[in-house]
Amino acid sequence: MSHRWESEFVRSHSDVLANSYRRITGRSMFPGVPEIQGLELAQRLYEAPFVVVSHGTQVDPILNYGNATAQRLWELSWDELTSMPSRLTAEAPLREERARLLAAVTSQGFIDDYTGIRMTRSGRRFKISLATVWNLVTLDGQHYGQAALFSEWAWL
């Protein structure tokens, strides 16, 4: 049986997530751990106790990654999560605020103090605190999307 993190996409995407995060924020996703890449990074990121999600560069961006913690939090399978427009992770009245956040990230590279309300598939609401949202950029400088990492949330 293979694991999600063993797929070629997840391995290469994990490298983009971690490398972009390090270059843009100056921090490691795993402080105190020597730099890791490839399969070890993919597994560690996929199984991390914090949430990591990302979306692509479409006009209405589609989520293309959500680690196991994100899947549990949003009550979605990998296939459900990675076929959903990222705007649908927020309630309709909050989508304009989310769009302003993403525009700020696009122009500034990242923010590391985002707080917002999100909703699970079953309609449960939760508040994200102190999220880092950053631009994904490949090693050759291509814009690849945006990602978010957070470890603090509370049910409302």
Dist CA 19 CA 16 (whole Å): 5
- Classify residue 64 as exposed, middle or buried by CB count within 10 Å of its CB (0-12, 13-18, 19+): buried
> What pLDDT score does 58 carry?
94
Segment holding 84, helix H or strand E: none
Q: DSSP state, 90?
A: S
pLDDT of residue 136: 95
Encoded amino acid at 9, one letter: F
**CATH architecture, domain 4-155:** 2-Layer Sandwich (3.30)
Question: Tell me, what's the pLDDT at 94?
Answer: 62
Give the model's pLDDT for residue 47: 97
Q: Tens digit of pLDDT per residue, the chain (156 long)? A: 579 999 999 999 999 999 999 999 999 999 888 888 899 999 999 999 999 999 999 999 999 999 999 999 999 999 999 999 998 887 765 667 767 777 777 778 888 888 888 999 999 999 999 999 999 998 898 999 999 999 999 999
**Spans of all domains in the chain:** 4-155
**Length of the chain measured in residues:** 156
**Full DSSP string of 12-75:** HHHHHHHHHHHHHHS--SSTTS----HHHHHHHHHT-SSEEEEE-SSSSPBEEEE-HHHHHHHT
pTM, whole model, 2 decimals?
0.90
- Burial class from Cβ neighbours inside 10 Å (0-12, 13-18, 19+) for residue 120 reads middle
Both tokens of 33, joined, read 């751990």
Compute the Cα dihedral for 43, 145, 35, 108 and give only its sign.
negative
pLDDT of residue 139: 85
